[in-house]
Structure 1
């Protein structure tokens, strides 16, 4: 068994060093999952919850803005606030909204400037 593991490691190392010389190119690792990055950002604001649920809120918020269901950032922030856990603050809802727009629909970010 040990010989097999050493043999596999030797082959892997050989491929690593021989690949560039042989003209082989390996694919770069895939970009980070935007839902995970979004969740990590939300956690810095004290917003927790299921990753998929929070990503859904972010994505559906973008759709609501795009289709006119929410006419401005105030309505979008209210929608977000109503979806967050009880006890979430208005500030957290606005941070969530900004993070969601940056992550899922950066073309909609100007609505935050309009809200100022």
Structure 2
């Protein structure tokens, strides 16, 4: 009886398990590559998470200030478009609650 109960719970756990999902940092890196932004995966993910923290705490009050931070921390050959593409990707992957920061750019 104990075996049947354990088997039932095991089967139920497998059915309710969340579907597998790729690593967020890898997905972010793959998006950056489409923009021609390369570099170490861990470094880019770290910078993406930091820019989110800076916006959440008010250290960077708008997209321009966040872009200035990124420009100083991304490859020196990154152009302005790549900086904003990086910012958009960071927001999408690490802090979607900050989307209004990007939306304010088009107003």
Shift of 1:90: 0.6
Counterpart CA distance in 2 for 1:47 and 1:111 is 22
Counterpart CA distance in 2 for 1:109 and 1:29 is 26
Shift of 1:30: 2.6
Deviations along 1:48-100, one digit per CA (max 9) or x if unpaired, are: 00011000111000000011110100000111111111111010000000000
> How do 1:10-25 residues align onto structure 2 when only pairs under 5 Å count?
24=11
Structure 2 match to 1:84: 74
Structure 1 match to 2:63: 73
Counting matched residue pairs gives 95
Q: CA RMSD in A?
A: 1.6
Could you state the TM-score of these two structures normalised by the residue count of structure 1?
A: 0.75
Counterpart CA distance in 1 for 2:40 and 2:20 is 23
Structure 2 match to 1:103: 93
1:42 aligns with 2:59: no
Structure 2 segments unaligned to the other structure (5+ residues): 1-6
Structure 1 segments unaligned to the other structure (5+ residues): 1-21
Counterpart CA distance in 2 for 1:109 and 1:52 is 23
1:56 aligns with 2:46: yes
Could you state the TM-score of these two structures normalised by the residue count of structure 2?
A: 0.81
